């Protein structure tokens, strides 16, 4: 297969490789760096942080200009994502509505209110994906790194509140992304800086930690984000975000999840592998979207390696077709025409 080989959708390999990337950038306008990600890397999506945001008007211009430029360059509409959980993790500051976060949501009514207002404000500025809700379960007595970001209570309670957020966001055309599969509520180290190890067996995880993700699946959540945690009893070589077993067997086949699967940020310190290794594992695992949240050489390296592997490996090419079809299906449903 050569690089000009086209997928079932009519996309070239270069375009398909770009569609598998959700990328961060510097700046608050459609500047040369962002244009490069869209025109040359052919990015499937962008992710916004506080440094990209000055005001509602500025943010609306940025999102609108990025989508217009994607159309001009012949790309499908962009996923435009943000982490707007409320509380500790909220990229949008006043005048956007401020919420105390998941630990302070105590009823389905409050969960719905958070999601309803958040969806209205995100849609109003052109953001179409919220990397929320957090569905990790913190067992009683565990000093979890996630304790200030989770819904309080057991797996049933987390499922109840989380699915209300998912349904309310998605009823208002904002894709929800549940995180962090298969659950990091038991961990005490931060994957931004370390590789946490969670030495729990599958039966325990299925009994508690995975339950909210099953509920999210049943609520037709658009995306599920993998954790960067190492679960040695599930995969003794690869952490969840790079694991063919956790992403491919456990999430896809065992849980039967058919939506988008995302990595967490590949720039985190928990990732101890070079970018080429990460890309191979992502493609092998059937993960749809790789997040690289900071400007740097890793973005172009990831895209080039994806192009190379898709052009040279028939099995990865076929898996790539499936991922691209999922990506385009969600873009068609939530973002409209792909032409």
Q: Helix H segments across the chain? A: 13-19, 32-39, 56-72, 108-125, 155-171, 202-204, 211-218, 275-285, 297-312, 314-335
Catalytic residues: 192, 264
C-alpha span between 176 and 173 (Å, rounded): 9
Question: Are the C-beta atoms of residues 233 and 270 closer than 8 Å to each other?
Answer: no
For 6, half-sphere exposure in the C-beta direction (CA atoms, 13 angstrom radius) is 4
CB atoms within 10 A of CB 113: 16
Structure tokens at 167: 């349904």
Largest Cα span, the chain: 56
Question: Are the C-beta atoms of residues 42 and 75 closer than 8 Å to each other?
Answer: yes
Q: What residues have CB less than 8 Å from 103, skipping those under 6 apart? A: 87, 147, 148, 149, 150, 151, 152
Question: Are the C-beta atoms of residues 138 and 146 closer than 8 Å to each other?
Answer: yes
C-alpha span between 27 and 32 (Å, rounded): 10
């Amino acid at each position: 297969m050569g690089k000009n080989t086209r997928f079932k959708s009519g996309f070239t390999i270069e375009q398909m490789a770009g569609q598998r990337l959700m990328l961060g950038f510097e700046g608050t306008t459609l500047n040369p760096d962002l244009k490069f990600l869209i025109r040359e890397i052919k990015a499937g999506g962008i992710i916004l942080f506080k440094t990209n945001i000055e005001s509602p008007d500025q943010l609306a211009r940025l999102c609108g200009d990025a989508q217009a430029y994607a159309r001009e360059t012949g790309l499908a509409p962009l996923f435009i994502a943000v982490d707007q959980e409320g509380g500790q993790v909220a990229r949008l500051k006043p005048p956007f509505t401020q919420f105390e976060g998941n630990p302070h949501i105590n009823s389905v009514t409050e969960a719905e209110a958070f999601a309803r207002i958040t969806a209205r404000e995100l849609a109003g500025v052109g953001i179409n994906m919220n990397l929320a809700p957090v569905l990790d379960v913190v067992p009683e007595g565990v000093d979890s790194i996630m304790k200030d970001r989770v819904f309080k209570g057991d797996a049933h309670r987390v499922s109840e509140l989380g699915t209300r957020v998912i349904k309310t966001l998605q009823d208002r055309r904002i894709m929800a992304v549940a995180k962090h599969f298969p659950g990091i509520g038991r961990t005490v180290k931060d994957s931004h800086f370390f590789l946490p190890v969670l030495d729990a067996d599958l039966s325990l995880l299925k009994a508690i930690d995975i339950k909210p993700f099953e509920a999210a699946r049943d609520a037709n959540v658009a995306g599920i984000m993998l954790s960067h945690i190492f679960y040695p009893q599930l995969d003794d070589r690869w952490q969840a975000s790079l694991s063919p077993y956790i992403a491919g067997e456990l999430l896809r086949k065992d849980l039967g999840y058919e939506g988008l699967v995302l990595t967490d940020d590949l720039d985190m310190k928990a990732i101890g592998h070079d970018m080429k290794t990460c890309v191979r594992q992502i493609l092998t695992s059937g993960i749809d979207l790789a997040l690289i949240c900071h400007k740097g050489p890793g973005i172009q390296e990831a895209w080039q390696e994806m192009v190379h592997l898709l052009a040279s490996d028939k099995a990865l090419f076929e898996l790539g077709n499936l991922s691209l079809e999922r990506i385009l299906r969600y873009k068609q449903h939530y973002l409209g025409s792909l032409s």
